[in-house]
Amino acid sequence: MTQPDGVPASATDLGEALSSLSEHWLPKVVARMNDYEVKVVKVRGEFTWHSHVDTDELFFVLSGDLMIQLRDGDVLVRPGQMFVVPRGVEHCPKADREVHAMLVEPAGVVNTGDAGGPFTVEPL
């Protein structure tokens, strides 16, 4: 099947993309939409407290229970549920058991926001 420029010939399977990930907290871009990116990530343990000054960040949980810690309380996000962390709001994801999640955010967002540290992955 031929496609116009930039149209992939098939859908992207998030399970397949996740199975290629061997490291926790290392997101993989699976799709681009306008200037946004969709990523999948495997997480376990506790991340770093951080915020993104310029953007909201969407978490959609595919499997496992993700706790998004906020300074005012925790939000539990279970499979099939989503939560949007508003820009500027400090948060720290945490998972006692492995969680598979999808993220949607603008291209170029640094995963640790303004916090830096060992989890930081610079965008390509």
Site for its own copies, rule CB under 8 A: 1-4, 6-15, 30-34, 36, 38, 55-58, 60-62, 70, 72-73, 75-78, 80-87, 89, 102, 104-106
User: Smallest gap, in angstroms, from Cβ of residue 118 to its own copies?
Assistant: 27
Sequence-distant (≥ 6) Cβ neighbours of residue 117 within 8 angstroms: 48
User: Smallest gap, in angstroms, from Cβ of residue 45 to its own copies?
Assistant: 20
Q: How far separated are the first and last CA of the chain, in Å rounded?
A: 30
Q: Which residue is it, tokens 């390509």?
A: 124
Name 36's bridge partners. Answer: 33, 106
Q: Which is nearer to its own copies, 51 or 112 (CB)?
A: 51
Q: Which is nearer to its own copies, 3 or 118 (CB)?
A: 3
Q: Which is nearer to its own copies, 105 or 111 (CB)?
A: 105
User: Smallest gap, in angstroms, from Cβ of residue 26 to its own copies?
Assistant: 20
Picking from 51, 69, 55, the residue whose alpha carbon sits closest to that of residue 116 is 51
Q: Which is nearer to its own copies, 23 or 72 (CB)?
A: 72
Q: Cα angle at 81 between 61 and 84, to 5 degrees?
A: 85
